[in-house]
A and B are shown apart, each in its own frame.
Chain A
Amino acid sequence: MPITVKLFASLRKGRFDEDTRVYASGITGRSIVRDIGIPEKEIRLVFVNGRHASLEDLLADGDTLALFPPIGGG
C-alpha cells in the first residue's frame, strides 16, 4: 500500500522532503523510520494525516506520515 512520508527541518538532511513509498499492510511508523534509516531519538513529533500519532500506530492505505525533530518558534 502507498504511504506518503514527509520529513522536515534537520530530518531532511541527506534524505528527502517528501516521498510516496509502497509498504506491506500492517506496517507501523516505527518500521518506516527504520527503513529510511532515521535514528528514532532525532524524532520528536509524529503526525498521521495531520493528527498527532505514535510511531507504534498501524498505518492504513494512503496515509501520510509526517516526522519532525524538536522545533519551536512563535
Chain B
Amino acid sequence: MDKILRIDMGAAGGPKAKAVPIGEYAGLGGRALTSAVISKEVPPECHPLSADNKLVIAPGLLSGTAAAMSGRLSVGCKSPLTGGIKEANSGGQPAQVLARLGFAAIILEGASKANDLYRIFINKDGVTITPDNSLKMMLNYDLVEKMKAEYGDKIACISIGPAGEMKLAASSVACTDMELRPTRHAGRGGVGAVMGSKGVKVIVLDDTGMPMRQPKDPDKFKKANKEFTDGLKKHSVTGQGLPAYGTNVLTNILNEAGGYPTYNFKEGRFAGASKISGETEAALETERGGLATHGCHRGCVIRCSGTYHDKDGHYLTKQPEYETVWAHGGHCGIDDMDKIAMMDFLEDNIGLDTIETGVTIGVAMEAGLLKFGDADAAVKLVKEIGQGTPLGRIIGSGAAVTGKIFGVERVPVVKGQAMPAYDPRAVEGMGVTYATTTMGADHTAGYAVATNILKVGGFVDPLKPEGQVELSRNLQIATAFIDSTGMCLFIAFAILDQPETFQAYLDLLNSCLGLSFTADNVAEYGKKVLSMERDFNKRAGFTSQQDRLPGYFKTQPIAPHNVTFKVKDEDLDKVYNW
C-alpha cells in the first residue's frame, strides 16, 4: 500500500497507467486519501464530468490485512449531484483485494478523447487497459458474469451500469460481494457518472499470488484483533441485533418514534411499516431459503446483510437495506416487500443509488406523475432509467432536478442530494448532519440516530434542538476517521459504548502501521479530513446558505409529534467551530 496507480484516460495514444510512490499522501487511507487528492488536485470550479475531475478509489488504512471489518472502499470525486466534494463508501471485496495488490488508491484522470469504453484488469503482473465497446450499456450482473467467464472466479469487480454510462447524477459505482455479485455500491453523489465520463466500464482486480498485508507488530496486532472482534460480538447491537435482523430493523423503531418519513416527508408514520420491517424481511428470507445473516465481505464479523429470494425460492437480490426499503417503501407509500426487493435488484443492475432513486420516485409521486402506493408504476419508472428514456433520465438525475422539472415545492434535499430515512424534524440531530456535512444530505456522515433514537453513546432528546450541534460535530469527526481506516461504520455502535473496544481499534491501527493513535489525535485526523473537504466546497462556491435544510422543514410540522426543525441557523454555522 505504498503506491498509487494513476491512470490517465486521456493520454496521447490511449490510456496509460503508472504506479507512483504514495509520497505526500503517506499516512492517509480511504476517505482521508480520496478527499486529500480531490482537494489538492481537482480544480474546485471544474465541471464534474470534465477531464479536470478525478475519480479516486481507495481502500482504508487497514484494508487487506486480517483486521476484522476492514473491507470498506472509498470512492471520491467532485460530485455531479452536489457540485461539491464527494466520498461514497462501499462494502464488498474490492477494498481488500486492491490493498493486497499494493495500491493505496487508483486515480482515474483525464478523459478519453475517443468515445470508447474501457475495461481495466489489475493483477500481480501489472495493469492491462483494453477498449471494449461490446460492454456498452451492459447491466452490472451481466457484466460481472462476463468478467467471471473470462478471468475466473477469484476476481473482484468495480463497475458501472448503464446509469453511469449515461452520466446520470444518481448513478453508483458497484462493487462485488463474496459471491461475486454486484450488490454493494458506492451509491451517493453520482460517482458512477464520473467513472462513466472517464470511459471506464469495469475495473477487474485479481490478487492471486499476493499475500495478505502484514502488520508491523504481528503479536500485538493479533491480540488487538481478537479483543476487537470479541468486543463486536459482545455488544448487543453488533453481536445480536444487526446479524439477526439487518439494518431494516430500524423501520419499526423510526416509525414508532414518529421519524419515519412517509409520503415524501409529509408524515412521520407509515401504516404499512410492519409489512416492510426488518422482522418481516428476515422471516421472509428464512422461509424462502435465503439468508437472514450474511457478511458483505470476507472478514466481516457483524454480518448485517442477507439474501432475498422471490416467492419461488430463487435469488432475487441481496437483503435490501433499511434506507432502500424506506426510500421505495414508506416514502412512496409502498408496503409490498417483493416489489421493493425487485427495485433494489433493478437499481443494483442499472447502477443507481437506491436512496436518491427512491426519494426521486416519491417526489414524482407528489408531482402526480404516479400515485403514492403504486408499486408497479414505480418499478416501471426504475426500468425506464435503465432504458434511458427522456423520463428515465430525468428520474435518474435525482430528486432536486425532478422536483424542479415537475414543479414540486417539497423536495427533501441538501446541496442537491436526497435525504435518507430519518425525518430531521423528529430526529433533530440528523437534521444538523444533513444540513452541515460536506456531502449533501447523508445519514452516514454523522449518524445522530444512534444517540437520538437508539441510545448508543448516550442520549440526546431527538425532539429538542439542545445538544444536537455538539452531537453531530463529534459524530462527523469520528466518522471521517473511521471512513479513513477502511472499517465498516457499524463498529461505531460498539466503540461508542465500550472503551476497551475503542482501545482495541486503536491498537489494531497502531500495531499494523507502527503509529501511535490516541483518542485525541484520532479527533485531529477526523478534523483534518473535514477541513479539507469543507475548504474544497468553499472554493467551489459553497457558503453557509448551502448548510441549510429546505425551508418547509422549519414551517410545516410533521405528525404524530407535530414538530418542526428548531435548530437555529447560527447554531448550524457553529458545527465546524473547533
Residues of A within 8 A of B (CB): 6, 8-10, 12, 17, 44-45, 47, 49-52, 66, 68-74
Contact across chains for A69 and B236 when beta carbons are under 8 A apart: yes
> Please, which residue of chain A has its CB at the minimum distance from the CB of B246?
A73
- Total chain B interface residues with beta-carbon distance under 8 A: 44
B444 interface hit (Cβ, 8 Å) = yes
Select B252's contact among A8, A51, A70, A74, beta carbons within 8 Å.
Answer: A8
User: Is there contact, CB below 8 Å, between B256 and A66?
Assistant: yes
Q: A9-B279, A17-B274, A52-B461 are in contact. Are A72 and B257 (CB under 8 A)?
A: no
Contact (Cβ within 8 A) B455 A72: no
- Tell me whether A71 and B256 are in contact in the complex, defined as CB-CB below 8 angstroms, given that A45-B454, A51-B561, A52-B459 are known contacts: no
By the criterion CB–CB under 8 Å, are B248 and A73 in contact? yes
Q: Please state if A50 and B561 are interface contacts (CB–CB under 8 Å).
A: yes
Instruction: Assess whether B25 is interfacial by the CB under 8 Å rule.
Output: no
Please name all residues of chain A whose beta carbon is closer than 8 Å to the beta carbon of B253 when the two chains form the complex: 8, 45, 68, 71
A45 x B245 contact (CB < 8 A): no
For the complex formed, measure the closest distance between the CB of A4 and the CB atoms of chain B, giving whole angstroms.
11
6 closest cross-chain pairs (CB), A and B: A73-B247, A70-B236, A72-B237, A71-B241, A73-B250, A50-B258
Partner of A9, one of B244, B269, B454, B456: B244
Q: Tell me whether A72 and B256 are in contact in the complex, defined as CB-CB below 8 angstroms, given that A45-B454, A50-B561 are known contacts.
A: no
Q: Is the pair B247, A74 in contact by a Cβ cutoff of 8 Å?
A: yes
Q: Which of A17, A49, A50, A70 is the one whose CB lies under 8 Å from B241?
A: A70
Q: Cβ of A8: which chain B residues have Cβ within 8 Å of it?
A: 249, 252-253, 256, 279
Residues of A within 8 A of B454 (CB): 45, 70-72
From B256, B258, B278, B459, A73 is in contact (CB under 8 Å) with B278
Q: B455 touches which one: A17, A45, A66 (CB < 8 A)?
A: A45
Report yes or no: B489 in contact with A74, Cβ–Cβ below 8 A.
Answer: yes
B317 close to chain A: CB less than 8 A: no
B432 at the interface (CB under 8 A from A): no
Chain B positions within 8 Å of A68 at CB level: 252-253, 256
How far is B53's CA from A6's CA once the two chains are assembled, in angstroms? 51
Nearest CB of A to B245, in Å? 6
CB distance from B455 to the nearest CB of A (A): 6
Q: List 19 A-B contacts (CB under 8 A).
A: A8-B256, A9-B241, A9-B249, A9-B278, A10-B244, A12-B279, A45-B455, A50-B258, A50-B560, A52-B459, A66-B256, A68-B252, A68-B253, A69-B241, A70-B237, A71-B237, A72-B237, A72-B250, A73-B248
B257's closest neighbor in chain A, by CB? A50
- Chain A residues contacting B334 (CB-CB under 8 Å) are none
Complex Cα distance A68/B447, Å?
A: 19
**Cα–Cα distance between A45 and B451 once the two chains are bound (Å):** 12
Q: Which residues of A contact B323 (CB under 8 A)?
A: 74
A37 to B232 CA separation, bound complex (whole angstroms): 28
Residues of A within 8 A of B322 (CB): 73-74
Query: Which residues does chain A contribute within 8 Å of B456, judged by CB atoms?
Result: 72
- New contact pairs (18) apart from A8-B256, A9-B241, CB-CB < 8 Å: A8-B249, A8-B252, A9-B244, A9-B245, A45-B253, A50-B256, A50-B257, A50-B560, A51-B463, A52-B257, A52-B455, A68-B252, A70-B235, A71-B237, A71-B253, A72-B238, A72-B241, A74-B443
Give the distance in Å from the alpha carbon of A51 to the alpha carbon of B463 in the complex.
9
Bound-state Cα–Cα, A74 to B490, Å? 8
Report the bound CA distance from A44 to B240 in whole Å.
Answer: 13
Q: Assuming the A-B contacts A71-B249, A72-B456, A73-B242, are A47 and B257 also in contact, with contact meaning beta carbons closer than 8 angstroms in the complex?
A: yes
Answer yes or no: B163 CB below 8 A from chain A CBs. no
Q: Is B343 located at the chain interface by the 8 A CB criterion?
A: no
For the complex formed, measure the closest distance between the CB of A40 and the CB atoms of chain B, giving whole angstroms. 14
Which residues in window 314-350 of B have CB below 8 A to A? 322-323
Q: Which residue of B lies closest to A42 (CB)?
A: B236
Closest approach, in angstroms, between the C-beta of A61 and any C-beta of chain B? 18
Minimum CB–CB distance from B228 to chain A (whole Å) comes to 17
Q: Does B439 contact A (CB under 8 A)?
A: no
In the complex, the chain A residue whose C-beta lies closest to that of B274 is A17
- Chain B residues 415-463 with CB under 8 Å of chain A are 443-444, 447, 449-450, 453-456, 459, 461-463
Q: How far is the CA of A10 from the CA of B244 in the complex (A)?
A: 9
Name which residue of chain B comes closest to A44, CB basis: B455
